[in-house]
Chains A and B, each alone.
Chain A
Amino acid sequence: MTENQRLGIVVSGSLNKGVEVKLDSSASIEDMAVGRFVTIEGQKRRFFGMITDVSLGVTDQRLALTPPDVSDPFIAEVLAGTSTFGTLHVSPSLVIGGDAATMLEGPQPVKTIPSHFSAVKLATQEDVELVFGTEDEKRFFIGNPLDMEVKLCLDLEELVKRSNGIFGKSGTGKTFLTRILLIGMLQKSRAVNLVFDMHNEYGWAGTREGGPPVKALKQLFQSRVAVFTLDEENSRHRGVSTDGVVRIGHDEIEPEDIVLLRQTLNLTEPAVEAVYQVHRRYGKNWLQNTLDLDAEESKELLKELNIHDSTFQNLRRGLATIQRLPFIEPSPPTNAVKAILEHLDRGTNVVLEFGRYRDITAYILVANMLSRRIYAQYQSRMEKATAAAKDNLKPRPLVITIEEAHKFLNPEVAGQTIFGVIAREMRKYNVTLLVIDQRPSGIDSEVMSQLGTKITCLLDNERDIDSVLAGVSGRAELKSVLAKLAAKQQALIFGHAVPMPVAFQPREYGSAQSYREFTSAGKAEVEKDIEKLWD
């Protein structure tokens, strides 16, 4: 099949619901696939759209009731395309030619639909490149649209201006996709990344189902990535060369951190209230002081603060759990936040490995605490830069990558955690989020609505699908595309950074060749710069 073959003609449709295309008899319905791109040659404009549904039609219902003898190839050939025919449902999303605006500014969103009987063709490579761009200094190749050889390129400078999300069931390739995106940001944008790496997947090496481990950021971009760890021993066992160990002092933990951990620490509502009271009473060293109290002292304290004894016991049990975390120390020798910030300022991406401390308590506590500090720093610097009206004082754009995001951003705590704030206030302070999650329905809808670009692998829970697609135009069509994604290595991207939703297959990651391609993309630019010097 040649690429620019005519598929059929538009027979009906609406802007809201997309257009129906009757397939020509020469085009086999089995060659069509949901998610493929087509162009529609209207009388004045060219439309670019995606196949969102494929169906069969008959002109006469009786044909369906008494099927003809299709074992005879002659009869089958005659009926194909006439009495029995295939229809495509295409949702046009862009105008790629024909009017002044598209000539000057490139593809424009559709505001109308093609006229009756406009010819529909498969999109050519040029068409797709026109829409998704080609790989250049700003655009990063993330994969191929399904069933096409064309490269899908993302403008990463645009992408990091907003918070983004990567969703998908467990084992659908979220981690691989994230790694690709992180490399892209590292190469093609000014932004630096802070990755809270719960499963030790992004720093040195990552696991792969049924294969040897894959290289991660540090192995590929030695000089631009720093790995911090909470669990030095574990990192050493895995042969990771770390740039720093994170220790957290008792005095660094604040009541807000405890609030966030209410569920995981099994604290009651009054216990959480008590945290604030205790904090007011003791100040910075409240955690240490609370745990050090003996029976007498605690009795006095309870009386003074009017806290019930069982509430206090509940609180103490919770605090003891935190204290038992090995990376929590009364007075750590180094200031982790400062070290991490220094790296980020130099433009080094930071991956924080959690080692063996994979339980959610540690992850929430550390991620929330560090992010809050860093965000506060960014906020004050940004305000200073704005006040002085000097762009060069502005801190580098920062992307914070968090996994298991629904633990931080669920409706109950989204208002309290720093991540809720970052997601909402987003780019004002040059800090954005990259949210990775398998239960998007657990994330506060207000936060979801603020995510600029969403990439989603297969989801099969109805609520998850609904929450990911909330507010997107052409939701019903995207839903059918999303539900048909393969269980592995296929994803759907939509939102701010792409002109239209597109299902794609992420580029290869894990072979020696792929590593070369990733790393040489950066080198090629250097070489280009050197060449320029000679010109």
Chain B
Amino acid sequence: MAEIQRAGEVIEASTTDFTAQCYELYEIPPLGSLVKTKDLSVELYGIVYNAATTSLEPGRRPIARGKDEQSEEAIYRSSPQLLKLLKSEFGALVVGHKKDNKLYHYLPPKPARIHSFVYLCPPEEVKEFGQSFDFLNILINARLPVPTEELISASLRQMSQAHPDPRTFLVAAGKELAILLSGNLNQLKTILGRIRI
């Protein structure tokens, strides 16, 4: 992938997370993937923790349309306006930032700006970011609508794919988690069960 893939645009932002809308319906980055956006000189890194596809207008719910159609694709073909009436959004938890070409695995000074573009990080960048596991602490302590264990395991699975030796990466991450979660054995066990290779 030569060009960095643009995943969407920030439509809501706070210090700890931001929400982005995808340009195309259903083109959502996978759960746990690393995305980045910009606030002037600072690049913000986020991990996708949640995604939703809803009606463009909050009061207007979609209705079932497939009674006379042969396939699901046929629904969209016969009602092309649907693609414009629905939207896909995803939320990303801010886990670090890059300033003056230096990576910091903690929160940036300012949140992302609305309408900033959100990009999916290429493997080299994911690898670079994954060299430190300090971001795991942010994930562990975040209050999210999805279970933390799911998010952590998903993000580690995603990151491991950028590494030539995923197992070594996951073992190292697992060890870091074992230290961070030494007081919460069940959580540790759940995560390890989800990232095992």
Contact = CB atoms under 8 A, between A and B. Distances in A.
Nearest to B167: A74
B147 to A, nearest CB: 20
Contact of B192 (A60, A62, A66, A78): A78
Contacts of B192: 68, 74-75, 78
A25 B172 CA distance: 11
B183 interface: yes
A60 B185 contact: yes
B32 interface: no
Interface in B151-197: 167, 170-171, 174-175, 177-179, 182-183, 185, 188-189, 192-193, 196-197
A75 B196 contact: yes
A77 interface: yes
A59 B182 contact: yes
A74 B185 contact: no
Contact of A25 (B170, B175, B182, B189): B175
Nearest to B192: A75
Interface in A56-102: 59-60, 62-63, 66, 68, 72, 74-75, 77-79, 81-83
A23 to B, nearest CB: 14
Contacts of A78: 171, 174-175, 177-178, 192
A78 B188 CA distance: 11
A60 B178 CA distance: 10
A59 B180 CA distance: 11
Contacts of B167: 74
Given A60-B183, A60-B185, A63-B185, A74 B178 contact: no
Contacts of B197: 74
Nearest to A84: B178
B196 A72 contact: yes
A74 B177 CA distance: 14
Contacts of B193: 75
Contact of A82 (B170, B178, B183, B196): B178
B182 A60 contact: yes
Given A68-B189, A83-B188, A74 B174 contact: yes
Nearest to A25: B175
Contacts of A83: 178, 182, 185, 188
A82 B185 contact: no
Interface string B130-160: 0000000000000000000000000000000
Contacts of A72: 196
A72 B175 CA distance: 15
B170 A74 contact: yes
A79 B178 contact: yes
Interface string A315-332: 000000000000000000
A185 B182 CA distance: 58
A528 to B, nearest CB: 56
Contacts of A62: 185
A9 to B, nearest CB: 14
The 6 closest A-B pairs by CB, nearest first: A78-B174, A82-B178, A59-B182, A74-B196, A83-B178, A82-B175
Interface of B: 167, 170-171, 174-175, 177-179, 182-183, 185, 188-189, 192-193, 196-197
15 contacts: A59-B182, A62-B185, A63-B185, A66-B185, A74-B167, A74-B170, A74-B171, A74-B196, A75-B192, A77-B174, A78-B192, A81-B175, A82-B174, A82-B179, A83-B188
Interface of A: 25, 59-60, 62-63, 66, 68, 72, 74-75, 77-79, 81-83
